Chains A and B, each alone.
Chain A
Amino acid sequence: MLTIEGLKKSYAGNDILKGISINVNKGDVISIIGPSGSGKTTLLRTITTLEEANGGRITFAGVDNDFQKLNGKEINTIRRNVGFVFQNYNLFNNKTALQNITEGLIVARRVKKNEAENIALKALERVGLTDRKDHYPSQLSGGQQQRVGIARAIALNPEVIFFDEPTSALDPELVGEVLKVMKDLANSGTTMVVVTHQMSFARDVSNRVIFMADGYIVEQGEPRKIFENPSEERTKKFLTDILANV
Protein backbone atom coordinates (compact mmCIF):
# COMPACT_ATOMS: atom_id res chain seq x y z
CA MET A 1 0.00 0.00 0.00
CA LEU A 2 2.84 2.36 0.92
CA THR A 3 6.26 1.75 -0.55
CA ILE A 4 9.34 3.87 0.07
CA GLU A 5 12.55 3.21 -1.82
CA GLY A 6 16.00 4.62 -1.18
CA LEU A 7 14.82 7.56 0.92
CA LYS A 8 17.64 10.01 1.64
CA LYS A 9 17.71 13.10 3.78
CA SER A 10 20.49 15.35 4.97
CA TYR A 11 20.59 18.50 7.06
CA ALA A 12 23.40 20.93 6.41
CA GLY A 13 25.73 18.27 5.09
CA ASN A 14 24.87 15.67 7.73
CA ASP A 15 23.26 12.58 6.29
CA ILE A 16 20.34 11.64 8.50
CA LEU A 17 18.70 9.03 6.30
CA LYS A 18 21.02 7.06 4.05
CA GLY A 19 18.67 5.19 1.77
CA ILE A 20 15.67 3.75 3.58
CA SER A 21 13.25 1.34 1.95
CA ILE A 22 10.03 0.34 3.63
CA ASN A 23 6.94 -1.47 2.53
CA VAL A 24 3.73 -1.03 4.53
CA ASN A 25 0.80 -3.31 3.85
CA LYS A 26 -2.79 -2.70 4.79
CA GLY A 27 -3.41 -3.60 8.42
CA ASP A 28 0.27 -3.54 9.33
CA VAL A 29 1.29 -2.25 12.73
CA ILE A 30 4.95 -1.40 12.41
CA SER A 31 7.11 -0.27 15.31
CA ILE A 32 10.28 1.63 14.53
CA ILE A 33 12.83 1.45 17.32
CA GLY A 34 16.41 2.57 17.61
CA PRO A 35 18.77 4.87 19.50
CA SER A 36 18.14 8.60 19.47
CA GLY A 37 19.60 10.37 16.46
CA SER A 38 19.10 7.35 14.25
CA GLY A 39 16.62 9.20 12.03
CA LYS A 40 13.34 7.62 13.13
CA THR A 41 11.46 10.90 13.47
CA THR A 42 13.02 12.31 10.31
CA LEU A 43 11.85 9.22 8.46
CA LEU A 44 8.21 9.87 9.41
CA ARG A 45 8.52 13.55 8.64
CA THR A 46 9.98 13.02 5.18
CA ILE A 47 7.43 10.35 4.24
CA THR A 48 4.59 12.69 5.24
CA THR A 49 6.23 15.59 3.33
CA LEU A 50 6.71 17.71 6.46
CA GLU A 51 10.37 17.70 5.45
CA GLU A 52 11.74 17.67 1.94
CA ALA A 53 13.67 14.51 1.11
CA ASN A 54 16.90 14.60 -0.86
CA GLY A 55 16.25 11.41 -2.77
CA GLY A 56 14.08 8.35 -2.95
CA ARG A 57 10.77 7.29 -4.32
CA ILE A 58 7.26 6.99 -2.88
CA THR A 59 4.38 4.84 -4.09
CA PHE A 60 1.23 5.64 -2.16
CA ALA A 61 -2.44 6.49 -2.75
CA GLY A 62 -2.04 6.75 -6.50
CA VAL A 63 1.14 8.79 -6.28
CA ASP A 64 4.21 7.16 -7.79
CA ASN A 65 7.09 9.57 -8.03
CA ASP A 66 10.50 10.62 -6.80
CA PHE A 67 10.27 12.61 -3.57
CA GLN A 68 12.07 15.55 -5.13
CA LYS A 69 9.73 15.66 -8.12
CA LEU A 70 6.48 15.69 -6.16
CA ASN A 71 4.21 18.49 -7.33
CA GLY A 72 1.72 20.38 -5.17
CA LYS A 73 -1.14 18.12 -6.10
CA GLU A 74 0.76 14.96 -5.23
CA ILE A 75 1.88 16.45 -1.91
CA ASN A 76 -1.76 17.22 -1.14
CA THR A 77 -2.74 13.66 -2.02
CA ILE A 78 -0.11 12.25 0.33
CA ARG A 79 -1.11 14.59 3.15
CA ARG A 80 -4.77 13.75 2.72
CA ASN A 81 -4.16 10.06 3.06
CA VAL A 82 -1.95 10.04 6.12
CA GLY A 83 -2.69 10.77 9.74
CA PHE A 84 -0.01 12.08 12.05
CA VAL A 85 0.19 11.96 15.83
CA PHE A 86 2.86 14.28 17.15
CA GLN A 87 5.20 13.79 20.06
CA ASN A 88 4.04 17.03 21.68
CA TYR A 89 0.41 16.60 20.57
CA ASN A 90 0.23 19.87 18.53
CA LEU A 91 -3.46 20.29 19.14
CA PHE A 92 -4.85 23.57 17.81
CA ASN A 93 -4.62 25.65 20.98
CA ASN A 94 -7.46 27.99 20.07
CA LYS A 95 -9.93 25.16 19.38
CA THR A 96 -11.80 22.86 21.70
CA ALA A 97 -11.22 19.11 21.61
CA LEU A 98 -14.22 18.69 19.32
CA GLN A 99 -13.22 21.57 17.04
CA ASN A 100 -9.72 20.14 16.81
CA ILE A 101 -11.22 17.11 15.14
CA THR A 102 -13.87 18.83 13.02
CA GLU A 103 -11.44 21.48 11.71
CA GLY A 104 -9.75 19.20 9.17
CA LEU A 105 -13.03 17.55 8.21
CA ILE A 106 -14.82 20.84 7.56
CA VAL A 107 -12.00 22.89 6.06
CA ALA A 108 -10.01 20.28 4.14
CA ARG A 109 -12.60 17.59 3.45
CA ARG A 110 -15.60 19.90 2.99
CA VAL A 111 -17.74 17.77 5.28
CA LYS A 112 -20.92 19.49 6.54
CA LYS A 113 -20.65 20.84 10.06
CA ASN A 114 -23.16 18.60 11.82
CA GLU A 115 -21.88 15.55 9.99
CA ALA A 116 -18.32 16.47 10.97
CA GLU A 117 -19.42 16.80 14.59
CA ASN A 118 -20.95 13.34 14.50
CA ILE A 119 -17.72 11.88 13.14
CA ALA A 120 -15.73 13.81 15.74
CA LEU A 121 -17.94 12.60 18.58
CA LYS A 122 -17.50 9.01 17.45
CA ALA A 123 -13.73 9.51 17.32
CA LEU A 124 -13.77 11.03 20.82
CA GLU A 125 -15.80 8.08 22.03
CA ARG A 126 -13.18 5.70 20.70
CA VAL A 127 -10.51 7.42 22.77
CA GLY A 128 -12.88 7.75 25.74
CA LEU A 129 -13.05 11.54 25.92
CA THR A 130 -16.64 12.37 25.02
CA ASP A 131 -17.04 14.27 28.29
CA ARG A 132 -14.08 16.51 27.45
CA LYS A 133 -15.31 17.61 24.04
CA ASP A 134 -15.69 21.28 24.95
CA HIS A 135 -12.37 21.55 26.76
CA TYR A 136 -9.49 23.49 25.30
CA PRO A 137 -6.09 21.76 25.05
CA SER A 138 -4.77 23.85 27.95
CA GLN A 139 -7.51 22.37 30.12
CA LEU A 140 -6.58 18.77 29.32
CA SER A 141 -3.83 16.57 30.74
CA GLY A 142 -1.03 15.44 28.47
CA GLY A 143 -2.53 12.00 28.07
CA GLN A 144 -5.93 13.44 27.23
CA GLN A 145 -4.38 15.83 24.72
CA GLN A 146 -2.59 12.98 23.01
CA ARG A 147 -5.82 10.95 22.88
CA VAL A 148 -7.52 13.91 21.21
CA GLY A 149 -4.54 13.99 18.84
CA ILE A 150 -5.20 10.35 17.99
CA ALA A 151 -8.92 11.01 17.59
CA ARG A 152 -8.10 13.86 15.22
CA ALA A 153 -6.04 11.50 13.09
CA ILE A 154 -8.56 8.63 12.99
CA ALA A 155 -11.53 10.91 12.26
CA LEU A 156 -10.04 11.61 8.83
CA ASN A 157 -9.98 7.88 8.15
CA PRO A 158 -6.50 7.90 6.57
CA GLU A 159 -4.82 4.98 4.86
CA VAL A 160 -2.06 4.94 7.44
CA ILE A 161 -1.43 6.76 10.71
CA PHE A 162 2.08 7.76 11.73
CA PHE A 163 2.86 8.07 15.42
CA ASP A 164 5.96 10.07 16.27
CA GLU A 165 6.96 8.95 19.78
CA PRO A 166 3.39 9.50 21.00
CA THR A 167 4.11 8.77 24.65
CA SER A 168 7.58 10.17 25.23
CA ALA A 169 6.39 13.62 26.32
CA LEU A 170 4.00 12.13 28.85
CA ASP A 171 4.31 11.57 32.57
CA PRO A 172 4.81 7.86 33.23
CA GLU A 173 1.37 7.38 34.78
CA LEU A 174 -0.31 8.80 31.66
CA VAL A 175 1.49 6.55 29.19
CA GLY A 176 -0.86 3.66 29.80
CA GLU A 177 -4.06 5.39 28.69
CA VAL A 178 -2.49 6.40 25.37
CA LEU A 179 -1.00 2.97 24.74
CA LYS A 180 -4.37 1.38 25.45
CA VAL A 181 -6.01 3.54 22.78
CA MET A 182 -3.27 2.67 20.32
CA LYS A 183 -3.66 -1.03 21.10
CA ASP A 184 -7.41 -0.81 20.44
CA LEU A 185 -6.69 0.87 17.12
CA ALA A 186 -4.21 -1.81 16.14
CA ASN A 187 -6.69 -4.53 17.03
CA SER A 188 -9.37 -2.90 14.89
CA GLY A 189 -7.14 -3.17 11.82
CA THR A 190 -5.84 0.37 11.52
CA THR A 191 -2.59 0.61 9.57
CA MET A 192 -0.05 2.18 11.87
CA VAL A 193 3.62 3.13 11.76
CA VAL A 194 4.84 3.91 15.26
CA VAL A 195 8.16 5.35 16.33
CA THR A 196 8.38 4.31 19.93
CA HIS A 197 10.53 3.66 22.96
CA GLN A 198 7.78 1.56 24.52
CA MET A 199 9.27 -1.87 23.98
CA SER A 200 6.15 -3.54 25.35
CA PHE A 201 4.10 -1.97 22.56
CA ALA A 202 6.66 -2.96 19.94
CA ARG A 203 6.80 -6.53 21.22
CA ASP A 204 3.16 -7.21 22.02
CA VAL A 205 1.12 -5.12 19.60
CA SER A 206 3.04 -4.65 16.38
CA ASN A 207 3.37 -7.30 13.70
CA ARG A 208 6.71 -6.00 12.47
CA VAL A 209 9.59 -4.24 14.19
CA ILE A 210 12.12 -2.12 12.36
CA PHE A 211 15.41 -1.38 14.09
CA MET A 212 17.14 1.74 12.82
CA ALA A 213 20.58 3.09 13.58
CA ASP A 214 22.68 5.83 11.96
CA GLY A 215 20.25 6.43 9.14
CA TYR A 216 19.97 2.81 8.05
CA ILE A 217 17.49 0.06 8.70
CA VAL A 218 19.71 -2.41 10.49
CA GLU A 219 17.20 -5.16 10.91
CA GLN A 220 13.49 -5.81 10.60
CA GLY A 221 11.16 -8.68 11.20
CA GLU A 222 8.56 -10.14 13.48
CA PRO A 223 8.74 -8.81 17.03
CA ARG A 224 9.50 -12.25 18.47
CA LYS A 225 12.48 -12.66 16.21
CA ILE A 226 13.84 -9.15 16.84
CA PHE A 227 13.43 -9.31 20.60
CA GLU A 228 14.36 -12.92 21.24
CA ASN A 229 16.81 -13.69 18.52
CA PRO A 230 18.23 -10.58 16.83
CA SER A 231 20.74 -11.37 14.12
CA GLU A 232 22.65 -8.07 14.21
CA GLU A 233 25.11 -7.09 16.93
CA ARG A 234 23.74 -3.46 17.01
CA THR A 235 20.24 -4.66 17.68
CA LYS A 236 21.39 -6.96 20.49
CA LYS A 237 23.34 -4.16 22.15
CA PHE A 238 20.45 -1.67 21.86
CA LEU A 239 17.98 -4.14 23.30
CA THR A 240 20.19 -5.16 26.22
CA ASP A 241 20.87 -1.48 26.99
CA ILE A 242 17.24 -0.47 26.87
CA LEU A 243 15.88 -3.50 28.67
CA ALA A 244 18.46 -3.08 31.42
CA ASN A 245 16.86 0.25 32.23
CA VAL A 246 13.32 -1.03 32.52
Chain B
Amino acid sequence: MSLNTDFMVKVAQTAIQGVPVTLQIVLVALLISLPIGVLFALIRIYRVKGLQRLVQFYVSLVRGTPIIAQILIVYSAFPSLLNMIIGKAAFSINPIYYAYIVFTFNSIATLTEVFRSALQTVDKGQMEAGLMVGMQPRQTFWRIILPQALISALPNIANATLYLIKNSSLAFIMSVKDITAIAKTEAAFNYNFLEAYLVVWVYYLIICYGAEIIFYLFERYFSKYRRPIKNRTGFNWFPFSIKQPKLEQK
Protein backbone atom coordinates (compact mmCIF):
# COMPACT_ATOMS: atom_id res chain seq x y z
CA MET B 1 0.00 0.00 0.00
CA SER B 2 1.34 3.40 -0.83
CA LEU B 3 -0.03 6.83 -0.08
CA ASN B 4 -0.84 9.14 -2.93
CA THR B 5 1.14 12.11 -1.65
CA ASP B 6 0.26 14.39 -4.54
CA PHE B 7 -3.38 13.91 -3.71
CA MET B 8 -2.72 14.59 -0.05
CA VAL B 9 -1.15 17.93 -0.90
CA LYS B 10 -4.14 18.75 -3.06
CA VAL B 11 -6.61 17.84 -0.31
CA ALA B 12 -4.60 19.83 2.18
CA GLN B 13 -4.83 22.87 -0.06
CA THR B 14 -8.58 22.58 -0.50
CA ALA B 15 -9.40 21.59 3.06
CA ILE B 16 -7.59 24.63 4.42
CA GLN B 17 -10.63 26.64 3.35
CA GLY B 18 -12.52 24.69 5.97
CA VAL B 19 -10.25 25.83 8.81
CA PRO B 20 -11.87 29.26 9.21
CA VAL B 21 -15.30 27.61 9.20
CA THR B 22 -14.31 25.22 11.98
CA LEU B 23 -12.74 28.04 13.98
CA GLN B 24 -15.81 30.19 13.46
CA ILE B 25 -18.12 27.53 14.84
CA VAL B 26 -15.85 27.03 17.85
CA LEU B 27 -15.44 30.73 18.60
CA VAL B 28 -19.12 31.63 18.24
CA ALA B 29 -20.17 28.68 20.41
CA LEU B 30 -17.56 29.52 23.06
CA LEU B 31 -18.19 33.25 23.22
CA ILE B 32 -21.94 32.81 23.63
CA SER B 33 -21.79 29.89 26.02
CA LEU B 34 -19.16 31.26 28.43
CA PRO B 35 -21.32 34.03 29.96
CA ILE B 36 -24.48 31.93 29.79
CA GLY B 37 -22.62 29.06 31.44
CA VAL B 38 -21.62 31.34 34.36
CA LEU B 39 -25.21 32.56 34.65
CA PHE B 40 -26.64 29.03 34.63
CA ALA B 41 -24.05 27.89 37.17
CA LEU B 42 -25.09 30.74 39.47
CA ILE B 43 -28.75 29.80 39.05
CA ARG B 44 -27.89 26.27 40.13
CA ILE B 45 -25.66 27.29 43.05
CA TYR B 46 -28.05 29.85 44.46
CA ARG B 47 -31.03 27.61 43.73
CA VAL B 48 -33.00 30.33 42.01
CA LYS B 49 -36.61 29.26 42.29
CA GLY B 50 -38.15 27.88 39.12
CA LEU B 51 -35.13 28.59 36.97
CA GLN B 52 -32.98 26.07 38.83
CA ARG B 53 -35.17 23.14 37.73
CA LEU B 54 -35.17 24.46 34.20
CA VAL B 55 -31.39 24.66 34.04
CA GLN B 56 -31.04 21.22 35.57
CA PHE B 57 -33.45 19.79 33.02
CA TYR B 58 -31.63 21.53 30.20
CA VAL B 59 -28.25 20.21 31.28
CA SER B 60 -29.56 16.64 31.61
CA LEU B 61 -31.27 16.90 28.27
CA VAL B 62 -28.17 18.04 26.42
CA ARG B 63 -25.75 15.78 28.25
CA GLY B 64 -28.05 12.80 28.01
CA THR B 65 -28.39 12.75 24.24
CA PRO B 66 -25.72 12.09 21.64
CA ILE B 67 -24.58 15.18 19.82
CA ILE B 68 -25.33 13.54 16.48
CA ALA B 69 -28.98 13.14 17.47
CA GLN B 70 -29.09 16.79 18.49
CA ILE B 71 -27.63 17.79 15.14
CA LEU B 72 -30.17 15.71 13.23
CA ILE B 73 -33.06 17.09 15.26
CA VAL B 74 -32.04 20.72 14.92
CA TYR B 75 -31.26 20.28 11.28
CA SER B 76 -34.61 18.76 10.47
CA ALA B 77 -36.78 20.66 12.94
CA PHE B 78 -35.55 24.22 12.57
CA PRO B 79 -36.12 24.73 8.85
CA SER B 80 -39.74 23.63 9.06
CA LEU B 81 -40.17 25.57 12.31
CA LEU B 82 -38.87 28.73 10.67
CA ASN B 83 -41.03 27.99 7.68
CA MET B 84 -44.06 27.90 9.95
CA ILE B 85 -43.14 31.13 11.76
CA ILE B 86 -41.85 33.31 8.94
CA GLY B 87 -44.00 31.67 6.35
CA LYS B 88 -41.35 31.37 3.71
CA ALA B 89 -38.81 28.77 2.87
CA ALA B 90 -36.00 28.91 5.38
CA PHE B 91 -33.88 26.47 3.44
CA SER B 92 -31.81 29.23 1.98
CA ILE B 93 -30.27 29.93 5.39
CA ASN B 94 -26.57 29.16 5.58
CA PRO B 95 -26.39 25.83 7.44
CA ILE B 96 -23.54 27.19 9.58
CA TYR B 97 -26.22 28.89 11.71
CA TYR B 98 -27.60 25.49 12.61
CA ALA B 99 -24.11 24.48 13.61
CA TYR B 100 -23.84 27.57 15.81
CA ILE B 101 -27.11 26.63 17.51
CA VAL B 102 -26.23 23.00 18.19
CA PHE B 103 -22.71 23.61 19.40
CA THR B 104 -23.67 26.62 21.51
CA PHE B 105 -26.44 24.63 23.20
CA ASN B 106 -23.96 21.88 23.82
CA SER B 107 -21.21 24.04 25.26
CA ILE B 108 -23.65 25.83 27.54
CA ALA B 109 -24.50 22.53 29.20
CA THR B 110 -20.86 21.51 29.60
CA LEU B 111 -19.71 24.92 30.81
CA THR B 112 -22.58 25.24 33.29
CA GLU B 113 -21.21 22.23 35.11
CA VAL B 114 -17.61 23.44 34.71
CA PHE B 115 -18.41 26.79 36.30
CA ARG B 116 -20.59 25.25 38.97
CA SER B 117 -17.73 23.13 40.22
CA ALA B 118 -15.26 26.01 39.84
CA LEU B 119 -17.41 28.44 41.81
CA GLN B 120 -17.80 25.88 44.55
CA THR B 121 -14.05 25.45 44.91
CA VAL B 122 -13.68 29.07 46.02
CA ASP B 123 -13.51 29.09 49.81
CA LYS B 124 -16.55 30.65 51.46
CA GLY B 125 -14.18 32.56 53.72
CA GLN B 126 -13.41 34.77 50.72
CA MET B 127 -16.98 36.05 50.71
CA GLU B 128 -16.95 36.53 54.48
CA ALA B 129 -13.71 38.48 54.27
CA GLY B 130 -15.29 40.70 51.61
CA LEU B 131 -18.30 41.38 53.82
CA MET B 132 -16.06 42.16 56.79
CA VAL B 133 -14.18 44.87 54.89
CA GLY B 134 -17.56 46.42 54.08
CA MET B 135 -18.06 45.21 50.54
CA GLN B 136 -21.47 44.11 49.31
CA PRO B 137 -21.98 40.45 48.36
CA ARG B 138 -22.31 41.47 44.71
CA GLN B 139 -19.05 43.44 44.76
CA THR B 140 -17.25 40.57 46.47
CA PHE B 141 -18.58 38.16 43.87
CA TRP B 142 -17.37 40.19 40.89
CA ARG B 143 -14.02 41.23 42.31
CA ILE B 144 -12.96 38.26 44.40
CA ILE B 145 -15.00 35.10 43.81
CA LEU B 146 -15.54 35.09 40.04
CA PRO B 147 -11.91 35.86 39.06
CA GLN B 148 -10.72 32.98 41.21
CA ALA B 149 -13.40 30.64 39.89
CA LEU B 150 -12.60 31.47 36.26
CA ILE B 151 -8.97 30.64 36.78
CA SER B 152 -9.63 27.34 38.46
CA ALA B 153 -12.08 26.59 35.64
CA LEU B 154 -9.46 27.18 32.93
CA PRO B 155 -8.23 23.57 32.58
CA ASN B 156 -11.81 22.37 32.24
CA ILE B 157 -12.69 25.15 29.83
CA ALA B 158 -9.70 24.06 27.76
CA ASN B 159 -10.97 20.52 27.88
CA ALA B 160 -14.45 21.59 26.78
CA THR B 161 -12.93 23.67 23.98
CA LEU B 162 -10.94 20.73 22.66
CA TYR B 163 -14.07 18.58 22.65
CA LEU B 164 -15.89 21.37 20.89
CA ILE B 165 -13.22 21.61 18.19
CA LYS B 166 -13.37 17.90 17.56
CA ASN B 167 -17.17 17.66 17.75
CA SER B 168 -17.48 20.51 15.28
CA SER B 169 -16.34 18.03 12.63
CA LEU B 170 -19.85 16.57 12.86
CA ALA B 171 -21.13 19.75 11.24
CA PHE B 172 -20.57 18.07 7.88
CA ILE B 173 -23.88 16.26 8.52
CA MET B 174 -25.57 19.66 8.18
CA SER B 175 -23.69 20.23 4.93
CA VAL B 176 -21.49 22.87 6.58
CA LYS B 177 -18.29 23.08 4.56
CA ASP B 178 -15.77 22.62 7.32
CA ILE B 179 -12.47 20.73 7.18
CA THR B 180 -14.05 17.31 7.43
CA ALA B 181 -16.76 18.01 4.85
CA ILE B 182 -14.31 19.32 2.25
CA ALA B 183 -11.91 16.42 2.71
CA LYS B 184 -14.74 13.93 2.49
CA THR B 185 -15.98 15.39 -0.78
CA GLU B 186 -12.48 15.38 -2.22
CA ALA B 187 -11.97 11.79 -1.16
CA ALA B 188 -15.22 10.67 -2.67
CA PHE B 189 -14.17 11.97 -6.08
CA ASN B 190 -10.97 9.97 -6.16
CA TYR B 191 -11.59 7.10 -3.77
CA ASN B 192 -8.45 8.08 -1.83
CA PHE B 193 -10.17 8.01 1.52
CA LEU B 194 -7.21 7.21 3.75
CA GLU B 195 -5.13 10.09 2.36
CA ALA B 196 -7.97 12.57 2.83
CA TYR B 197 -8.69 11.43 6.37
CA LEU B 198 -5.04 11.61 7.32
CA VAL B 199 -5.05 15.25 6.22
CA VAL B 200 -8.14 15.87 8.36
CA TRP B 201 -6.40 14.21 11.24
CA VAL B 202 -3.35 16.45 10.97
CA TYR B 203 -5.45 19.61 10.68
CA TYR B 204 -7.40 18.89 13.84
CA LEU B 205 -4.20 17.95 15.62
CA ILE B 206 -2.68 21.31 14.71
CA ILE B 207 -5.77 23.28 15.75
CA CYS B 208 -6.09 21.46 19.05
CA TYR B 209 -2.40 21.87 19.74
CA GLY B 210 -2.76 25.59 19.10
CA ALA B 211 -5.70 25.75 21.50
CA GLU B 212 -3.68 23.92 24.14
CA ILE B 213 -0.88 26.45 23.85
CA ILE B 214 -3.29 29.37 24.08
CA PHE B 215 -4.89 27.96 27.22
CA TYR B 216 -1.51 27.18 28.72
CA LEU B 217 -0.43 30.79 28.23
CA PHE B 218 -3.73 32.04 29.69
CA GLU B 219 -3.31 29.86 32.72
CA ARG B 220 0.29 30.85 33.22
CA TYR B 221 -0.57 34.51 32.96
CA PHE B 222 -3.64 34.56 35.17
CA SER B 223 -2.64 32.10 37.85
CA LYS B 224 0.52 33.83 38.95
CA TYR B 225 -1.11 34.46 42.30
CA ARG B 226 -1.36 30.75 42.93
CA ARG B 227 2.34 30.06 42.57
CA PRO B 228 3.88 29.67 45.99
CA ILE B 229 7.39 29.25 44.63
CA LYS B 230 9.07 30.82 41.66
CA ASN B 231 9.37 27.55 39.77
CA ARG B 232 6.76 26.87 37.18
CA THR B 233 5.90 23.76 35.25
CA GLY B 234 6.75 24.14 31.61
CA PHE B 235 4.49 23.42 28.68
CA ASN B 236 5.05 20.07 27.05
CA TRP B 237 5.94 21.41 23.62
CA PHE B 238 6.64 17.96 22.23
CA PRO B 239 3.82 15.70 23.34
CA PHE B 240 5.69 12.65 22.05
CA SER B 241 8.92 13.22 23.91
CA ILE B 242 9.61 11.07 26.93
CA LYS B 243 11.46 13.77 28.84
CA GLN B 244 9.37 15.84 31.17
CA PRO B 245 9.42 19.56 30.45
CA LYS B 246 12.01 21.36 32.52
CA LEU B 247 10.96 23.79 35.16
CA GLU B 248 11.61 27.31 34.03
CA GLN B 249 13.52 29.42 36.48
CA LYS B 250 12.19 32.90 36.90
**Chain A CB within 10 Å — which of B131, B132, B136, B139 has the most?**
B132
Q: Give the distance to chain A from B129, nearest Cβ to Cβ, in Å.
A: 4
A103 to B130, CA, bound (A): 9
In the complex with contacts A92-B144, A107-B143, A156-B125 CB distance below 8 A:
no
B147 interfacial by beta-carbon distance below 8 Å: yes
A108 interfacial by beta-carbon distance below 8 Å: yes
B228 interfacial by beta-carbon distance below 8 Å: yes
Assign chain A's interface to a size class: 20 to 34
Question: B224 is contacted by which of A76, A82, A108, A136 (Cβ under 8 Å)?
Answer: A136
Assign chain B's interface to a size class: 20 to 34
For residue A76, which residues in chain B have a CB less than 8 angstroms away from its CB?
134
Question: A90 is contacted by which of B125, B136, B147 (Cβ under 8 Å)?
Answer: B125
Chain A residues 79-98 with CB under 8 Å of chain B are 79-80, 82-84, 86, 88, 90-96
B243 interfacial by beta-carbon distance below 8 Å: no
Q: Is there contact, CB below 8 Å, between A50 and B134?
A: no
Question: B225 is contacted by which of A84, A86, A90, A136 (Cβ under 8 Å)?
Answer: A136
For residue A156, which residues in chain B have a CB less than 8 angstroms away from its CB?
133-134
In the complex with contacts A136-B225, A138-B227, A139-B228, A90-B129 CB distance below 8 A:
yes
Q: Is there contact, CB below 8 Å, between A79 and B131?
A: yes
A229 to B23, CA, bound (A): 78
**Chain A CB within 10 Å — which of B126, B129, B131, B135 has the most?**
B129
B49 interfacial by beta-carbon distance below 8 Å: no
Q: Is there contact, CB below 8 Å, between A92 and B126?
A: yes
Interface string of A134-153 (1 = CB under 8 A from B): 00111100000000000011
Please, could you name 14 A-B residue pairs with CB atoms under 8 Å apart, sorted by A? Answer: A79-B134, A86-B128, A92-B129, A93-B225, A94-B147, A94-B225, A95-B225, A104-B133, A107-B135, A107-B143, A109-B134, A136-B224, A138-B225, A152-B133
Chain B residues proximal to chain A, CB less than 8 Å: 123, 125-126, 128-136, 139, 143-144, 147-148, 151, 224-228
Q: Which 4 A-B pairs have the closest CB atoms?
A: A104-B133, A108-B134, A90-B125, A84-B132
